[in-house]
Structures are given as structure tokens and as C-alpha cells.
Amino acid sequence: MGSIRRAVPPVLLACLLLAGCSSGSLSDSERSGKNGSPPAGPSGAAAPTGSAGQEIAVGAGPQTTYTVQQQPPAGSCHYRYENGEPLEDTKCTPGAISPAVTQANLKSTICRKGGYTGDIRPPESVTRKEKVLNAASYGYTGRLRDAEYDHLISLQLGGDPNDYRNLWVEPADPGHKPGVGVNNKKDPVETKLHTAVCNGKVPLAAAQHAIVTDWTTALSSLGLG
């Protein structure tokens, strides 16, 4: 007696002929959204974009107790210079914003009377240790007292207080006399941006984007100087 052949169901046959059925795994666009866009930030709002059009990271925000944050490996970060002024390594220090500061609550946070930053700034006992570690990350060998452990997006612009992505050892300006302490041109830029944001001349996200892209051109890029 000959063998009995069973017919292959039409649906299964069509699947085989089309080089196999889907494994059920999601594509990259399905993982990130139908249009391939990155996930939204806090409360469903997209975070502001930084250099190269990438979103600025959102940090943990103000903490009751701060701890020393791990820094990039020693020697892995490299300064850039524009007209002699030091700029951060965008891979090591891309910036990070605080979820506690938004365009909607400026009056109760960074623009409130009496100040805001003093209440959320990490203590020196934490930042002193981080500064030493970050100096090694950047290969900084100058006097630490002449370098500022700087928030790339300043606290007065809604920068995260202690996210390692928002902090870097900023060398002194060219021509700075060694041993006389911190002195750089980035601080006045931050103050002018803060004033513009609080006066409603510039949106918060635009100011954050400008300072992350290049602090030396932040004011001119926003028509402020």
C-alpha cells in the first residue's frame, strides 16, 4: 500500500512561500513609535533638543540628599576650544535638565524672588570629590582652584543639579592669572540668558538648547548680543 500524503493547508503554504512568517519581534520604528521618533520626556512632553538635534537628557532633579556621582573614565574626555575659550566634550558632558523646572512654573522656580539655586545646589562635600574625578576624566592638570566645576546648563536655566552629564571641570579663560581663583566668561552668558527667560524674551527650552550647543555663541544665536 502506498504512503498517504497530507495536503498542506493553503495559509501555511503561502507563509512558507513568502520566506517565513514574522517572528513577532518589533522593528526599531515600532519600539520607538510609529514615526520612529524618540520617546517623550516627563508628562508626555518632548525634552528640548541639544547639539546635533538630539534631545537633552532629563536628570533626577533636586534631591534631599546628594551622593557622589560616577564620572567618565580618566582621560576619556577632551576639551574643545572656540576663539581660545574652553568648551566641554559633547560625548562626556551633553547636558541634563531638571524635571522640576518647566516653562509653566518659571515664576515659582528659577524666576522666583529670593532665588532658587541655593536651595537645590549639592554640598561642597559632594562636588569637591566629583570635581577631582571629573578633572581626571578630562585630563585637567592645572590648579583645581582656578577651574570651575561647572553646570553646563546652569541651575538658573533649569539644569540638573548633580547629573554627571551636566557637570564638567571648566578651565580658566585664556590669559587668566594662575592662583587667583575662578574667572570665566560663561557665567555672564548664563545670567543674561536667565534674565531673557524670566522676562519672557526667550523660551526656556531655547536657552537650554543654545547653551548646550555652544555657550560662546548662545547669546548671538538667540539675538541677545
What pLDDT is attached to residue 173?
A: 78
pTM of the model: 0.76
What pLDDT is attached to residue 136?
A: 98
CA 115 to chain CA centroid, nearest Å: 23
Whether the CB-CB separation of 160 and 48 falls below 8 Å is answered with no
Q: Which ranges of the chain would DSSP assign to H, the alpha helix?
A: 10-17, 28-32, 117-120, 124-138, 186-198, 204-213, 218-221
Backbone angles phi, psi at 181, to 5 degrees: 95, -175
DSSP code of 85? E
What pLDDT is attached to residue 83?
A: 83
pLDDT tens, N- to C-terminus, the chain (225 residues): 444 444 444 444 444 343 433 333 333 333 333 333 333 333 333 455 554 457 999 999 999 999 999 999 999 999 999 888 899 999 999 999 999 999 999 999 999 998 999 999 999 999 999 999 999 999 999 989 999 999 999 999 999 999 999 999 999 877 766 655 556 899 999 999 999 999 999 999 999 999 999 999 999 999 998
CA 152 to chain CA centroid, nearest Å: 8
What pLDDT is attached to residue 33?
A: 33
Which residues on neighbouring strands pair with residue 170, listed in sequence order?
148
Whether the CB-CB separation of 195 and 224 falls below 8 Å is answered with no
Per DSSP, the chain holds a count of helices (H) and strands (E) of 7, 6
Containing H/E element for 149?
strand 148-151
| Residues whose CB falls within 8 Å of the CB of residue 126, separated by 6 or more in sequence, listed in order | 66, 67, 68, 162
> Given the DSSP bridges, would you call strands 96-97 and 57-58 parallel, antiparallel or unpaired?
parallel
Distance of alpha carbon 19 from alpha carbon 21, whole angstroms: 7
What pLDDT is attached to residue 6?
A: 45
Nearest to 121 by CA among 86, 92, 151: 151
Distance of alpha carbon 192 from alpha carbon 179, whole angstroms: 27
